[in-house]
Amino acid sequence: MRTIVITGGTDGMGAALARHFLKAGDRVVVLGRSRSKFQALVTTVTSKDQSAASRAEYIAADLSLVADSRRVVEHLKANHERIDALVLAASFIRQRRHTTSEGHEASWALFFVSKYLFVTGLATLLHAAERPVVVNTAVPGARPDAIDFDDLQMINGFTFKRSNAQQRRANELLGILATIQNPDLTYVTWGPARLVRSSFAGELSTGMKAASAILGTLIGQRPEAAVLPIIDIIDAPAPGRAAYRGARKLSLTVGDHDEKDAARLVAAVDGDLR
Protein backbone atom coordinates (compact mmCIF):
# COMPACT_ATOMS: atom_id res chain seq x y z
CA MET A 1 0.00 0.00 0.00
CA ARG A 2 1.39 3.42 -0.98
CA THR A 3 1.65 6.25 1.53
CA ILE A 4 0.62 9.62 0.13
CA VAL A 5 1.19 12.76 2.22
CA ILE A 6 -0.77 15.86 1.18
CA THR A 7 -0.27 19.30 2.70
CA GLY A 8 -3.40 21.41 2.21
CA GLY A 9 -5.26 18.13 1.86
CA THR A 10 -8.44 19.36 3.53
CA ASP A 11 -9.71 21.55 0.68
CA GLY A 12 -9.48 22.37 -3.03
CA MET A 13 -7.13 20.26 -5.13
CA GLY A 14 -5.44 18.70 -2.09
CA ALA A 15 -8.79 17.33 -0.89
CA ALA A 16 -9.63 16.06 -4.40
CA LEU A 17 -6.34 14.14 -4.37
CA ALA A 18 -6.97 12.83 -0.85
CA ARG A 19 -10.39 11.47 -1.91
CA HIS A 20 -8.93 9.92 -5.06
CA PHE A 21 -6.08 8.10 -3.32
CA LEU A 22 -8.31 6.90 -0.48
CA LYS A 23 -10.69 5.46 -3.07
CA ALA A 24 -7.70 3.87 -4.82
CA GLY A 25 -6.78 1.98 -1.62
CA ASP A 26 -3.74 4.03 -0.58
CA ARG A 27 -2.84 5.29 2.88
CA VAL A 28 -3.35 9.06 2.88
CA VAL A 29 -1.98 11.55 5.40
CA VAL A 30 -3.80 14.88 5.23
CA LEU A 31 -2.32 18.05 6.66
CA GLY A 32 -4.37 21.16 7.23
CA ARG A 33 -5.99 23.24 9.92
CA SER A 34 -9.58 22.03 9.76
CA ARG A 35 -10.37 18.62 11.23
CA SER A 36 -14.03 19.02 10.26
CA LYS A 37 -13.11 19.38 6.56
CA PHE A 38 -10.94 16.27 6.89
CA GLN A 39 -13.77 14.33 8.50
CA ALA A 40 -16.18 15.43 5.76
CA LEU A 41 -13.86 14.22 3.00
CA VAL A 42 -13.30 10.87 4.72
CA THR A 43 -17.07 10.44 5.13
CA THR A 44 -17.63 10.87 1.38
CA VAL A 45 -15.23 7.99 0.77
CA THR A 46 -16.28 5.70 3.65
CA SER A 47 -19.91 5.80 2.52
CA LYS A 48 -18.74 3.49 -0.28
CA ASP A 49 -15.64 1.88 1.28
CA GLN A 50 -15.44 1.48 5.06
CA SER A 51 -11.74 0.56 4.89
CA ALA A 52 -10.84 4.14 3.96
CA ALA A 53 -11.28 5.27 7.58
CA SER A 54 -8.33 3.16 8.74
CA ARG A 55 -6.17 4.40 5.85
CA ALA A 56 -6.80 8.12 6.44
CA GLU A 57 -4.74 10.13 8.92
CA TYR A 58 -5.11 13.79 9.82
CA ILE A 59 -2.37 15.98 11.22
CA ALA A 60 -3.40 19.46 12.29
CA ALA A 61 -0.72 22.02 11.52
CA ASP A 62 -0.26 25.67 10.70
CA LEU A 63 2.49 25.31 8.11
CA SER A 64 3.29 29.01 8.14
CA LEU A 65 4.91 28.21 11.50
CA VAL A 66 8.36 26.65 11.36
CA ALA A 67 7.76 24.85 14.67
CA ASP A 68 4.64 23.17 13.26
CA SER A 69 6.39 22.10 10.05
CA ARG A 70 9.24 20.62 12.09
CA ARG A 71 6.79 18.88 14.45
CA VAL A 72 4.96 17.28 11.49
CA VAL A 73 8.23 16.12 9.90
CA GLU A 74 9.24 14.45 13.19
CA HIS A 75 5.78 12.89 13.55
CA LEU A 76 5.93 11.43 10.04
CA LYS A 77 9.44 10.08 10.63
CA ALA A 78 8.37 8.44 13.87
CA ASN A 79 5.18 6.89 12.47
CA HIS A 80 5.85 5.98 8.83
CA GLU A 81 8.43 3.77 7.15
CA ARG A 82 8.30 5.48 3.78
CA ILE A 83 6.53 8.11 1.73
CA ASP A 84 5.66 7.23 -1.86
CA ALA A 85 4.27 10.63 -2.79
CA LEU A 86 4.48 14.02 -1.11
CA VAL A 87 2.06 16.60 -2.48
CA LEU A 88 2.76 20.17 -1.39
CA ALA A 89 -0.53 22.03 -1.83
CA ALA A 90 -1.11 24.13 1.31
CA SER A 91 -2.08 27.63 0.25
CA PHE A 92 -3.13 30.84 1.96
CA ILE A 93 -2.94 33.84 -0.35
CA ARG A 94 -1.93 37.13 1.24
CA GLN A 95 -1.77 40.22 -0.90
CA ARG A 96 -0.04 42.14 1.89
CA ARG A 97 3.07 41.42 3.90
CA HIS A 98 2.26 39.63 7.15
CA THR A 99 4.56 38.47 9.93
CA THR A 100 3.88 35.20 11.78
CA SER A 101 4.03 34.87 15.57
CA GLU A 102 7.55 33.48 15.02
CA GLY A 103 8.60 36.65 13.22
CA HIS A 104 8.76 35.23 9.68
CA GLU A 105 7.12 36.66 6.58
CA ALA A 106 4.02 34.46 6.32
CA SER A 107 3.85 33.77 2.56
CA TRP A 108 7.54 32.91 2.34
CA ALA A 109 7.19 30.68 5.41
CA LEU A 110 4.17 28.80 4.02
CA PHE A 111 4.97 28.67 0.32
CA PHE A 112 8.69 27.96 0.63
CA VAL A 113 10.21 27.41 4.08
CA SER A 114 7.67 24.76 5.07
CA LYS A 115 8.16 22.96 1.74
CA TYR A 116 11.93 23.14 2.18
CA LEU A 117 11.64 21.59 5.67
CA PHE A 118 9.38 18.82 4.33
CA VAL A 119 11.47 17.91 1.28
CA THR A 120 14.78 17.93 3.16
CA GLY A 121 13.43 16.54 6.47
CA LEU A 122 11.54 13.68 4.79
CA ALA A 123 14.37 12.72 2.41
CA THR A 124 14.98 9.39 4.18
CA LEU A 125 11.32 8.39 4.02
CA LEU A 126 11.19 9.33 0.32
CA HIS A 127 14.39 7.36 -0.24
CA ALA A 128 12.74 4.29 1.27
CA ALA A 129 10.04 4.29 -1.45
CA GLU A 130 10.62 2.43 -4.70
CA ARG A 131 9.42 5.27 -6.96
CA PRO A 132 9.19 8.40 -4.80
CA VAL A 133 7.45 11.52 -6.08
CA VAL A 134 7.23 15.11 -4.87
CA VAL A 135 4.53 17.20 -6.55
CA ASN A 136 5.01 20.82 -5.58
CA THR A 137 2.04 22.96 -6.64
CA ALA A 138 4.24 26.00 -7.19
CA VAL A 139 3.45 27.27 -10.68
CA PRO A 140 6.64 26.82 -12.74
CA GLY A 141 8.24 29.45 -14.97
CA ALA A 142 9.30 32.33 -12.72
CA ARG A 143 12.36 34.28 -13.87
CA PRO A 144 15.74 32.91 -12.74
CA ASP A 145 16.48 36.23 -10.98
CA ALA A 146 13.22 36.31 -8.98
CA ILE A 147 14.94 35.62 -5.62
CA ASP A 148 16.32 38.40 -3.44
CA PHE A 149 18.89 36.35 -1.54
CA ASP A 150 19.71 39.25 0.77
CA ASP A 151 16.10 39.87 1.77
CA LEU A 152 14.19 36.58 1.45
CA GLN A 153 11.50 37.82 3.83
CA MET A 154 10.97 40.92 1.69
CA ILE A 155 11.29 43.42 4.51
CA ASN A 156 11.83 45.93 1.73
CA GLY A 157 9.59 46.25 -1.28
CA PHE A 158 7.10 43.43 -0.64
CA THR A 159 4.51 43.07 -3.39
CA PHE A 160 2.24 40.10 -4.01
CA LYS A 161 3.77 39.68 -7.47
CA ARG A 162 7.38 39.69 -6.22
CA SER A 163 6.59 37.39 -3.30
CA ASN A 164 4.79 34.95 -5.60
CA ALA A 165 7.63 34.90 -8.17
CA GLN A 166 10.27 34.42 -5.46
CA GLN A 167 8.62 31.38 -3.89
CA ARG A 168 7.95 29.83 -7.29
CA ARG A 169 11.59 30.16 -8.34
CA ALA A 170 12.80 28.90 -4.94
CA ASN A 171 10.59 25.82 -5.27
CA GLU A 172 12.19 25.07 -8.63
CA LEU A 173 15.66 25.34 -7.07
CA LEU A 174 14.51 23.03 -4.27
CA GLY A 175 14.00 20.38 -6.97
CA ILE A 176 17.67 20.65 -7.95
CA LEU A 177 18.73 19.97 -4.38
CA ALA A 178 16.27 17.12 -3.89
CA THR A 179 17.14 15.28 -7.12
CA ILE A 180 20.89 15.66 -6.61
CA GLN A 181 20.44 14.06 -3.20
CA ASN A 182 18.12 11.34 -4.53
CA PRO A 183 18.41 10.57 -8.28
CA ASP A 184 15.46 8.15 -8.01
CA LEU A 185 13.16 10.99 -7.00
CA THR A 186 10.60 12.51 -9.37
CA TYR A 187 10.26 16.20 -8.45
CA VAL A 188 7.60 18.15 -10.29
CA THR A 189 6.61 21.80 -10.04
CA TRP A 190 3.02 21.94 -11.21
CA GLY A 191 0.35 24.52 -11.88
CA PRO A 192 -3.16 23.95 -13.21
CA ALA A 193 -3.88 24.56 -16.91
CA ARG A 194 -6.44 27.20 -15.91
CA LEU A 195 -8.18 28.59 -12.85
CA VAL A 196 -9.50 25.95 -10.45
CA ARG A 197 -12.75 26.41 -8.52
CA SER A 198 -11.18 25.93 -5.10
CA SER A 199 -11.64 27.64 -1.74
CA PHE A 200 -9.00 30.32 -2.58
CA ALA A 201 -8.00 30.35 1.09
CA GLY A 202 -6.46 33.67 2.02
CA GLU A 203 -6.79 37.29 2.96
CA LEU A 204 -7.84 38.76 -0.35
CA SER A 205 -9.08 42.22 -1.26
CA THR A 206 -12.81 42.43 -1.98
CA GLY A 207 -11.97 42.90 -5.68
CA MET A 208 -9.74 39.83 -5.87
CA LYS A 209 -12.30 37.74 -3.92
CA ALA A 210 -15.08 38.77 -6.28
CA ALA A 211 -12.91 38.22 -9.38
CA SER A 212 -11.89 34.72 -8.18
CA ALA A 213 -15.51 33.79 -7.39
CA ILE A 214 -16.85 35.06 -10.74
CA LEU A 215 -14.02 33.67 -12.87
CA GLY A 216 -14.07 30.43 -10.89
CA THR A 217 -17.76 29.96 -11.64
CA LEU A 218 -17.47 30.98 -15.30
CA ILE A 219 -14.25 29.31 -16.42
CA GLY A 220 -12.92 27.45 -13.40
CA GLN A 221 -12.18 23.75 -13.49
CA ARG A 222 -13.48 21.45 -10.78
CA PRO A 223 -10.65 20.35 -8.47
CA GLU A 224 -11.37 16.68 -9.34
CA ALA A 225 -10.71 17.42 -13.02
CA ALA A 226 -7.73 19.70 -12.40
CA VAL A 227 -5.80 17.07 -10.42
CA LEU A 228 -6.01 14.27 -13.01
CA PRO A 229 -2.51 15.09 -14.38
CA ILE A 230 -1.09 14.98 -10.83
CA ILE A 231 -2.58 11.51 -10.37
CA ASP A 232 -0.89 10.38 -13.60
CA ILE A 233 2.47 11.78 -12.44
CA ILE A 234 2.19 9.96 -9.11
CA ASP A 235 1.07 6.70 -10.73
CA ALA A 236 3.83 6.69 -13.37
CA PRO A 237 6.78 8.69 -12.07
CA ALA A 238 9.77 9.59 -14.27
CA PRO A 239 12.80 10.28 -12.04
CA GLY A 240 14.37 13.72 -12.26
CA ARG A 241 12.91 17.22 -12.38
CA ALA A 242 9.99 18.31 -14.52
CA ALA A 243 7.54 21.18 -14.81
CA TYR A 244 3.90 21.02 -15.86
CA ARG A 245 0.88 23.23 -16.54
CA GLY A 246 -2.00 20.80 -16.26
CA ALA A 247 -0.98 17.79 -18.36
CA ARG A 248 1.38 19.83 -20.55
CA LYS A 249 5.07 19.35 -19.87
CA LEU A 250 7.08 22.58 -19.95
CA SER A 251 10.77 23.20 -20.43
CA LEU A 252 12.46 23.78 -17.10
CA THR A 253 13.48 27.38 -16.49
CA VAL A 254 17.24 27.44 -16.72
CA GLY A 255 19.41 30.20 -15.27
CA ASP A 256 23.16 30.71 -15.57
CA HIS A 257 23.82 29.80 -11.95
CA ASP A 258 21.07 27.34 -10.98
CA GLU A 259 23.14 24.99 -8.81
CA LYS A 260 25.00 27.88 -7.19
CA ASP A 261 21.69 29.66 -6.59
CA ALA A 262 20.23 26.50 -5.03
CA ALA A 263 23.19 26.28 -2.63
CA ARG A 264 22.93 30.00 -1.89
CA LEU A 265 19.23 29.61 -1.14
CA VAL A 266 19.91 26.82 1.35
CA ALA A 267 22.58 28.89 3.11
CA ALA A 268 20.25 31.91 3.31
CA VAL A 269 17.24 29.90 4.54
CA ASP A 270 19.28 27.95 7.08
CA GLY A 271 20.75 31.28 8.25
CA ASP A 272 17.23 32.69 8.74
CA LEU A 273 16.13 29.58 10.65
CA ARG A 274 19.08 29.65 13.04
Point out which residues bind ligand NAP (CB under 6 A): 8, 10-14, 32-34, 37, 61-64, 89-92, 110, 137, 139, 191-192, 195-196, 198-201, 223
Please tell me the distance from the alpha carbon of residue 6 to that of residue 178, in angstroms, as a whole number: 18
176, containing H or E segment: helix 160-181
Closer of 40 and 180 to ligand NAP (Cβ): 40
Closer of 16 and 126 to ligand NAP (Cβ): 16
Smallest separation, CB 114 to ligand NAP (Å) = 8
Closer of 51 and 159 to ligand NAP (Cβ): 159
Closer of 208 and 263 to ligand NAP (Cβ): 208
Smallest separation, CB 110 to ligand NAP (Å) = 5
3-state secondary structure of 66: helix
Closer of 32 and 175 to ligand NAP (Cβ): 32
Smallest separation, CB 223 to ligand NAP (Å) = 6
User: Which residue, among 194, 181, 188, has the nearest Cα to 234 in the 3D structure?
Assistant: 188
Smallest separation, CB 232 to ligand NAP (Å) = 17
Closer of 103 and 257 to ligand NAP (Cβ): 103
CB 245 within 8 Å of CB 157: no
Q: Which residue is nearest to ligand NAP (CB)?
A: 12
Smallest separation, CB 177 to ligand NAP (Å) = 19
Sequence-ordered list of residues with C-beta below 8 angstroms from that of 24, at least 6 positions apart, any chain: none
Smallest separation, CB 16 to ligand NAP (Å) = 8
Q: HSE of 197 in the Cβ direction (CA atoms, 13 Å)?
A: 12
Closer of 14 and 132 to ligand NAP (Cβ): 14
Closer of 135 and 147 to ligand NAP (Cβ): 135
Sequence-ordered list of residues with C-beta below 8 angstroms from that of 101, at least 6 positions apart, any chain: 65
Buried b (16+ CB within 10 A) or exposed e, 130-158: ebbbbbbbbbbbbeeebbeeeebbbeeeb
Smallest separation, CB 65 to ligand NAP (Å) = 8
User: Which residue, among 158, 174, 139, 156, has the nearest Cα to 248 in the 3D structure?
Assistant: 139
Smallest separation, CB 59 to ligand NAP (Å) = 10
Sequence-ordered list of residues with C-beta below 8 angstroms from that of 22, at least 6 positions apart, any chain: 28, 42, 45, 49, 52, 55, 56
Is the Cα torsion angle 162, 166, 169, 172 positive or negative in sign? negative
73, containing H or E segment: helix 66-79
